[in-house]
Amino acid sequence: MTLDLASSIRSVLALAPDQSALEYQERWYSWGDVASIMQRGETLLATAGLGEGASVGILLRNQPAAVAMLLQVLATRRCVVTLNPFQSADKIASDLAAVQVDAVIADEQDWESSAIRQAVADKGCLALSISSRAELTVQALPEIVVAPERISAPSQTGIAIMMLSSGTTGPAKRIALPYSNFEHSLLDAAHYENKKNASGKAELKTSPAMLCIPLVHIGGMYAAVAAIIAGRSIVILEKFSVIEWTRAVSKYRPKLVSLPPTAIRMILDAQVPKESIDSLLAIRTGSAPLDPELQQAFEAIYDIPLLDAYGATEFAGAVAGWSLRDHQRYSADKRGSVGRPQPGCELRVIDPETSTPLGNNIVGLLEVRSAQVGTGQWVRTTDLAEIDDDGFLFIRGRVDSAIIRGGFKVLPRDVEQILREHPAIKEICIVGMPDQRLGAVPVAAFELEPGATLDEKDLVAFARNKLVAYQVPVKWQAVDRLPRTPSLKISQYEVRQLFDAQAETSPTSVAQ
């Protein structure tokens, strides 16, 4: 079975043009509205000579016009080059200067930046301005002249997306996702979603999807495209807000949504009334570790299963996850697992040094073989993992975030899990910093529970009591909010920068 993404998008748009497709800021846009802006955008791209394989940069805000233009680029087998809107205008301009694009699509508010305009003008790209205000619009910026040399042979034929990685452990990089991989990844959702009516044709669904995860992240893009090809309308939140999310769930009564663990914690902390979200049969989660205690507390109050999943940008989606059936049977015994392999995916762990495959219940380096990758080869990840006798996958950390302190290996996730037991700690991040004597040492940045106070001496005493000596962080830094990526993961890269800045203004701590 195969999925033709382009024909799937077009067939859904043609089902019922007058029915509601995208909701944004309590305003609905119809499938016809979406098709109309897509056609206008196609005319502008085609007139500029940008056909299949052309690289189209999109500043992917969670807005209807951006979703529509994303669909048009994919439906014409051009290449989406993702641009992150959660940056300053100067950083966006710097990214544009470095990336290969033939056109740039951005919201009208983004074009107000002289830095962004100048960066696109310098490249000689086609510049398209979109808007999701009163109606969905797209227009070319006439003052930015397209250089003739930009209209050349397609550079990205067969590549669907040049996808930004999450940037959790370092600066984000782009990963090429071929159309074949992305379509394989979407096939699972299509298999369950695309039920036919009596005539054998696909039909629009009555329950909406919700786009809460940033569109620039693989999870958000996957969720949006999967919903569209399933004929499901989407309620779009530009940024996650407990108040807006609760309003939308209460009003539109979706059955399944996707949220990162940080958003789940925010809902729990806000004490959202159970009856406001009781339409939900489950919440899919991923992109960051799901704390087992958070899961237990949330499910106890709301009786809504949290279905964790594991994936990566390279795999164009999830390769393992929980099903409702598995949750009903194993949730108590397998808490902390990210589920079992998805159909068409194989998982194994290997010895990091010898590459020898390991047996069950042994921690090693995770490898994946999947139809989504399409090479038939095992793809090595940077995750340390363990697979139990029932096939459940447990992520134990990242080999590239492991801290080798004087010959001893410190796994940040293990340390974080223990230190979260302190009643004053709300969230914590452990990273490694260079040390001349020991090679590297762990340091900790943390958020406190509301109203809590904490003396560093007490925290160190707690850590020494709970941890092995070499696991105890040598520096501690309390912050109002830990830095996060657009997908709400804690950014280890930016946490390290906090300690770099601290080192410049204070003497170096002695390793404990």
Within 13 Å, how many C-alpha atoms sit on residue 108's CB side?
Answer: 11
Query: Token pair of 166, please?
Result: 């999450």
Among 398, 419, 437, residue at a domain's last position: 398
Mean pLDDT check: name the lowest of 61-65, 161-165, 336-340: 161-165
Same-domain check for residues 26 and 119: yes
Same-domain check for residues 394 and 407: no
Q: Please, which residues have CB within 8 angstroms of residue 369's CB and are 6 or more apart in sequence?
A: 345, 346, 348, 376, 377, 378, 379
As for how many domains the chain has, the answer is: 3
Residue 168 lies in a domain: yes
Q: Please, which residues have CB within 8 angstroms of residue 285's CB and are 6 or more apart in sequence?
A: 258, 259, 260, 261, 264, 306, 307, 308, 309
Residue 161 has pLDDT above 80, yes or no: yes
Mean pLDDT check: name the lowest of 26-35, 228-237, 308-317, 488-497: 308-317
Residue 235 lies in a domain: no
- Distance (Å, whole) CA 244 – CA 26: 10
Same-domain check for residues 312 and 418: no
Query: Can you tell me the mean pLDDT for 300-326?
Result: 89
Across the chain, what does the average pLDDT equal?
A: 88
Same-domain check for residues 24 and 140: yes
Note down the domain range covering 483. 403-505
Residue 102 lies in a domain: yes
Same-domain check for residues 428 and 292: no
Same-domain check for residues 306 and 415: no
Strand order in the sheet with 136-140: 136-140, 126-132, 103-107, 55-59, 79-83, 159-164, 174-178
In the prediction, which pLDDT does 374 show? 64
Residue 367 lies in a domain: yes
Q: What's the DSSP call for residue 506?
A: S
- pLDDT tens-digit map of 261-290: 889 999 999 999 999 999 999 999 987 788
Decide if 460 contacts 476 (C-beta within 8 A): yes
Same-domain check for residues 383 and 415: no
Same-domain check for residues 32 and 160: yes
Same-domain check for residues 347 and 263: yes
Residue 201 lies in a domain: no
Residue 196 lies in a domain: no
Q: Which of 42, 90, 109 is nearest to 70 (CA)?
A: 42
- Distance (Å, whole) CA 325 – CA 331: 10
Residue 200 lies in a domain: no
Mean pLDDT check: name the lowest of 141-145, 199-203, 446-450: 199-203
Residue 368 has pLDDT above 80, yes or no: yes
Residue 26 lies in a domain: yes
* E strand or H helix at 324: helix 324-330
- Distance (Å, whole) CA 317 – CA 428: 27
Q: Which residue would you say has higher pLDDT here, 380 or 41?
A: 41
Query: Can you tell me the mean pLDDT for 220-227?
Result: 91
Is 253 exposed, middle or buried (CB count within 10 Å of its CB: 0-12, 13-18, 19+)? middle
Residue 118 has pLDDT above 70, yes or no: yes
- Distance (Å, whole) CA 154 – CA 193: 34
Same-domain check for residues 390 and 417: no
Is 224 exposed, middle or buried (CB count within 10 Å of its CB: 0-12, 13-18, 19+)? buried
Mean pLDDT check: name the lowest of 100-109, 172-181, 182-191, 385-394: 182-191
- Distance (Å, whole) CA 266 – CA 205: 29
pLDDT band at 243, cuts 50/70/90?
Answer: very high
- pLDDT tens-digit map of 329-363: 999 999 999 999 988 889 999 998 899 999 999 99
Same-domain check for residues 324 and 428: no
In the prediction, which pLDDT does 512 show? 39
Among 373, 398, 423, residue at a domain's last position: 398
Among 354, 377, 398, residue at a domain's last position: 398
Same-domain check for residues 251 and 391: yes
pLDDT band at 306, cuts 50/70/90?
Answer: very high
CATH number for the domain spanning 109: value is 3.40.50.12780
pLDDT band at 237, cuts 50/70/90?
Answer: very high
pLDDT band at 408, cuts 50/70/90?
Answer: confident
